[in-house]
Amino acid sequence: MTLTPKIALEEHFMHPDFVDYWATTAANISPDLFGKARTALEDFGEMRLGAMDGIGVEKAVLSLAGPGVQAEKRTETAVRLARQVNDFLAAEMAQRPDRYGGFAHLAMQDPAAAADELERCVTQLGMQGAMINGQTGGTYLDDDRYAPFWERVSDLEVPVYIHPNNPPERVHMYHEHPELWGPVWSWTVETATHALRLVFAGTFDRYPGAKLVLGHLGECLPYLMWRLDSRWEISNRGPMRLEKDPSAYFRNNIWVTTSGMCADAPLRCALDMMGADRVLFSVDYPFERASEAGDWIEQAPLSDEERAMVCHENALALLKFRGQDAASD
């Protein structure tokens, strides 16, 4: 079988200096499994490239496995270490520019510094945007303090990928149900809510050039788009007003990837609700099996045109690789 060329957007790596930050997510995973992905995370050679080649991934956009410096209490340390790991990633990208792109890792404790670092990563290091791991110190990206950051994002015309992270507190609804805390459910609730905060705060009215990416086929939100419009009409809005229906922002400013969601029905829902140009292929390597993601997307009930868009063309349009082609970046 001829494999469809692919670009993958949620593909993680690890730097030894950041393992302690990553370990803060240990409570979300079975103790028997947590940490076993470290070897794959730290590999940029045969193991990673073999997984990519096996499913036709021409280029992977790499990102640090979170939460990274967003868990750091000292702002100056967070800013310094974010720059360090971005330089590390840029060096790996430079060794294989035809195979690796990158999302900047940012210290969101300092929005102005994060904006500057994003610009450096995009304009000097050749990265394609940023990955942000949920809230930082209990603050979400709709907070007014992030205005300088969103201005820069809009000016640079690069996407911000919101990756799941734990909320700042564990609410009672998860009490005595540790299985719900993490990728089974709480990460979806947390990330979907973060995205909705941005929509309903009017972020995309103020910064119409801002681009947001969500994994896991949109954290259930495509399924809810009709209801978001319907219930917005009767909600207790307070002073909030939007220029468009909530669903319009999903079709104009938001993209979703297939990371960790290898199922036909939610794929079809995302395509039908958001548009065929809004859905992009991803694996979530190494936390998901590349072979499973690749085999599934090749067999998914899509037209040839849709499959090419999801696997390759939409990523080219969104990420604007230099040279206009992932293989010639």
Q: What are phi and psi of 297, to 5 degrees?
A: -65, -30
Nearest-10 Cα torsion for 56, 126, 252, 164: 70
Cα→Cα distances 228→34, 242, 245, 321, Å = 36, 13, 9, 34
Task: Name the CA radius of gyration of the chain, rounded.
Answer: 19
Residue 277: active-site member: no
| Separation CA 63–CA 89 (nearest Å) | 8
| Separation CA 24–CA 26 (nearest Å) | 6
> Which of these is catalytic: 284, 304, 325, 329?
284
| Separation CA 104–CA 106 (nearest Å) | 6
Ordered strands of the 57-64 beta sheet: 6-13, 57-64, 100-104, 129-133, 159-163, 211-214, 254-257, 279-280
> Which residues are catalytically annotated?
284
